Amino acid sequence: MKKTLTEDKIQLKELIDQVSILGDQKDFNNQVQLFTENALSETRAEGKVIMELKGRDVMAKAFAEFLKDVETVYHFNGQSLFTIKGDEATGTCYCLITLISNQKDKKIRTTIGAVYNDHYVLHDHQWLIDKRIGDFLWQEKCEIHSSEL
């Protein structure tokens, strides 16, 4: 039975949400299984590439290293749009990322406004991310106190 466009869009939305949930859980080995084997992940801040990764193994190690000192990771995915053409699709997802870490005995909350531009491929009836460009458009850091937790 052929899937409908709506079913594909639901699967793509669930894919990006699952990537975020696994990232929040720091389950990077399972997270990268939602990417193609040789996927490209590029992260930009202020228009400059700050991280470029190719392949699942490289991504899992880099994500773990990048977040090793972060106690709490929280992605809140917002609006998203998808364009589907056969077994390929593109999509844009807005995301608010919150990171809580200890820096010099202080709890620091970093909030990042990100936009992800993705290219997806349908592989064995499952959508996977083949290329992800994450633009970190703004960032705010502030100290938080125990009464705010």
Q: Which amino acid is at 125?
A: H
Average pLDDT for residues 35-44, to the nearest whole number?
A: 98
Could you tell me what percent of the chain has a pLDDT over 70?
Answer: 97
CA 61/CA 65 separation, integer angstroms: 6
Q: What is the pTM of this model?
A: 0.92
Per-residue confidence (pLDDT) for residue 79, from 0 to 100: 97
Strand partners, 133: 42, 117
Backbone φ/ψ region at 105: left (φ over 0), alpha (ψ -120 to 50), beta: left
Q: What average pLDDT does the chain have?
A: 95
Q: Is the pLDDT of residue 146 over 90?
A: no
Average pLDDT for residues 115-131, to the nearest whole number?
A: 98
Q: Is the pLDDT of residue 133 over 90?
A: yes
Per-residue confidence (pLDDT) for residue 42, from 0 to 100: 98
CA 84/CA 62 separation, integer angstroms: 30
Per-residue confidence (pLDDT) for residue 3, from 0 to 100: 76
* Sequence-separated contacts (24+) of 108-112 with Cβ below 8 Å: 108/141, 108/142, 108/143, 108/144, 109/141, 109/142, 109/143, 109/144, 110/139, 110/140, 110/141, 111/139, 111/140, 111/141, 112/136, 112/138, 112/139
Per-residue confidence (pLDDT) for residue 149, from 0 to 100: 54
| C-beta separation of 105 from 144 below 8 A | no
| C-beta separation of 66 from 51 below 8 A | yes
Question: Which of residues 41 and 47 earns the better pLDDT score?
Answer: 41
Name the nearest CA neighbour of 50 among 38, 62, 61, 35. 62
Domain boundaries, the chain: 5-148
Average pLDDT for residues 120-149, to the nearest whole number?
A: 92
Strands of 46-105 (E only): list them: 48-54, 70-85, 88-103
Average pLDDT for residues 82-100, to the nearest whole number?
A: 98
Among 3.40.50.1970, 3.30.70.1560, 3.40.50.300, 3.10.450.50, name the CATH number for the domain at 5-148: 3.10.450.50
